[in-house]
């Protein structure tokens, strides 16, 4: 089979090889424990920071690894294959740093991005609200200009890393009459007076990738306004989410790929009536369908990464990649569990965890329904 990542440079391949060893030795052995204890993977994130993975999405100019978009896709896929909770926290961090990269000024980038890339600070991205999920223009969180700064007031929900982060990019309405153009972004440091953090939500999957409700009644300095310009928040958020959707696709590829690997191994080793399970036509067809599904989604994700690398507008490609990969991951992990029979349903094996972990992929960073709307808009444009 042709290597879908053959375009990676020698340096990128070396980066990936180091990451592969880390995933095998450090992430996989502790993934079940993270899930069972619903423990935030801070130690794992710290070690990923030492490897350069917390800055893999950033250019070298701002302390990042400076790797290509296809290499980033592969790197996120690898982390996902080892631990869903860890990759969830990692990609939430990317949403924060991408927001600063795209929307911030040089002073803000210089202050936060090198530290975020090194892993000395963790980021969060606060966009979703109880009544404003799929359409951010419905948000109720507001920021009103006051003497010397801003008064930020409102709530956000389902914010990954929200209670663990050192810096949060918060999106708020600064001009209600301007619609999308009236949204701005703000940098909020943990410990800011008026920031209240709820308990982590008890989620079905990604149980160590904590999500929080955040409440704001905060006075922020003028320099907290991302980029120093109002009305740029929606554009920054949408550009950031294009990246995030490709990274969700990578997460799906990693988890589904590991599920398929386990299913193929089990089918080869499991003997029933003197014959390997892999010799049963029904099982062989299931594995063939899984391989087809996985490779199709990977090629769409690579196309989105290619367009991202070339600096093209890739919203449509990102939506296709995210939709295809998230729907694929549900089918592949379910089939992988089925191949294992009753053993797959037990918590002794990771299959049931994979099924739970991928369920959110069809919801966050824009639901499957929203992705279909984006794709249709591109078809009809």
Question: For 236-273, what is each residue's pLDDT tens digit?
Answer: 999 999 999 999 999 999 999 999 999 999 999 999 99
- Cα-Cα-Cα-Cα dihedral of 358, 360, 364, 370, to 10°? 90
Same domain for 284 and 211, yes or no, is: no
For residues 288 and 360, is the Cβ–Cβ distance under 8 A? no
Express as a percent the part of the chain with pLDDT over 70: 98
The band of 198, judged by pLDDT with boundaries at 50, 70 and 90, is: very high
Q: Compute the distance between CA of residue 296 and CA of residue 328 in angstroms, rounded to an integer.
A: 9
In a domain, 5, yes or no: no
Residues 101 and 209 in one domain: no
- For residue 134, pLDDT over 90 is answered with no
Same domain, 244 and 376: yes
From the candidates 247, 258, 327, 365, which is the catalytic residue?
A: 365
pLDDT at 2 over 70: no
Tokens of 43: 């130690």
Question: What whole-number distance in Å separates Cα of residue 173 and Cα of residue 381?
Answer: 29
Contact between 374 and 134 under an 8 Å Cβ cutoff? The reply is: no
Gap between the Cα atoms of 56 and 45, Å rounded: 13
Same domain, 86 and 152: no
- Same domain for 226 and 184: yes
Of 290, 222, 241, 302, give the one whose Cα is nearest residue 261.
290
Out of 234, 264, 295, a domain closes at: 234
Q: Which pLDDT score is estimated for 341?
A: 97
Two structure tokens written together for 174: 């600064």
105 and 196 inside one domain: no
Q: Is pLDDT at 136 greater than 70 in this prediction?
A: no
Q: Are residues 202 and 322 in the same domain?
A: no
Q: Are residues 16 and 137 in the same domain?
A: no
Mean pLDDT of 31-57: 98
- The predicted pLDDT at position 4 comes to 72
Q: Are residues 312 and 298 in the same domain?
A: yes
Domain range for 272: 240-380
pLDDT of residue 6: 81
Q: What average pLDDT does the structure give for the chain?
A: 96
Structure-token pair, residue 208: 């160590």
Q: What's the pTM? A: 0.96
How many whole angstroms separate alpha carbon 14 and alpha carbon 25? 17
Based on the residue annotation, tell me whether 365 is a catalytic residue of this protein. yes
Q: Are residues 74 and 129 in the same domain?
A: no
282-327 pLDDT tens trace: 999 999 999 999 999 999 999 999 999 999 999 999 999 999 999 9
**Chain center to CA of 348:** 26
Kindly state whether residue 2 falls inside one of the protein's structural domains. no
Number of domains in the chain: 3
Q: What is the CATH number of the domain that holds 137?
A: 2.40.110.10
Nearest residue to 245 via CA among 135, 333, 326, 354:
326
Model confidence at 87, in pLDDT bands (50, 70, 90)?
Answer: very high
Question: Distance (Å, rounded) from C-alpha 136 to C-alpha 129?
Answer: 8
For the chain, report the end-to-end CA distance as a whole number of angstroms.
36
Q: Are residues 18 and 32 in the same domain?
A: yes
The full DSSP string for 57-84 is: TS-GGGTS----HHHHHHHHHHHHHH-H
Q: Are residues 245 and 376 part of one domain?
A: yes
């Amino acid at each position: 089979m042709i290597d879908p990542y053959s375009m990676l440079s020698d340096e990128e391949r070396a980066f990936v090889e180091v990451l592969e060893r880390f995933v095998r030795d450090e992430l996989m052995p502790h993934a079940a424990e993270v899930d069972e204890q619903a423990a935030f993977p801070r130690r794992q994130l710290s070690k990923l920071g030492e490897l350069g993975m917390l800055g893999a999405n950033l250019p070298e100019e701002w302390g990042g690894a400076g790797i290509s978009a296809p290499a980033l896709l592969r790197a996120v896929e690898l982390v996902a294959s080892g631990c869903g909770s860890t990759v969830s926290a990692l990609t939430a961090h990317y949403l924060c740093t991408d927001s600063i990269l795209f929307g911030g000024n040089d002073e803000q980038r210089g202050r936060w991005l090198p530290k975020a890339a090194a892993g000395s600070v963790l980021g969060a991205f606060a966009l979703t609200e109880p009544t404003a999920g799929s359409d951010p223009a419905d948000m109720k969180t507001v920021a009103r200009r006051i003497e010397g700064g801003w008064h930020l007031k409102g709530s956000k929900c389902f914010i990954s890393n929200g209670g663990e982060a050192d810096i949060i990019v918060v999106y708020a309405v600064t001009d209600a009459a301007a619609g999308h153009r009236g949204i701005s972004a703000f940098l909020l440091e943990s410990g800011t007076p008026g920031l209240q953090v709820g308990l982590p939500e008890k989620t079905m999957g990604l149980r160590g990738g904590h999500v929080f409700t955040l409440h704001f009644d905060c006075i922020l300095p003028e320099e907290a306004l991302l980029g120093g310009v109002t009305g740029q928040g929606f554009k920054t958020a949408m550009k950031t989410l294009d990246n995030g959707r490709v990274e969700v696709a990578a997460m799906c590829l990693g988890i589904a790929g590991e599920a398929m690997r386990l299913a193929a191994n089990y089918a080869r080793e499991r003997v029933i009536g003197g014959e390997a399970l892999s010799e049963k036509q029904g099982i062989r067809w299931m594995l063939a369908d899984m391989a087809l599904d996985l490779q199709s989604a990977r090629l769409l994700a690579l196309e989105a990464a290619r367009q991202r690398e070339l600096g093209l507008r890739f919203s449509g490609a990102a939506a296709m990649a995210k939709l295809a990969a998230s729907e694929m991951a549900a089918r592949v992990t379910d089939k992988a569990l089925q191949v294992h029979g009753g053993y797959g349903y037990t918590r002794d094996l990771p299959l049931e965890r994979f099924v739970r972990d991928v369920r959110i992929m069809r919801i966050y960073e824009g639901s499957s329904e929203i992705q279909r709307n984006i794709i249709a808009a591109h078809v009809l444009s």
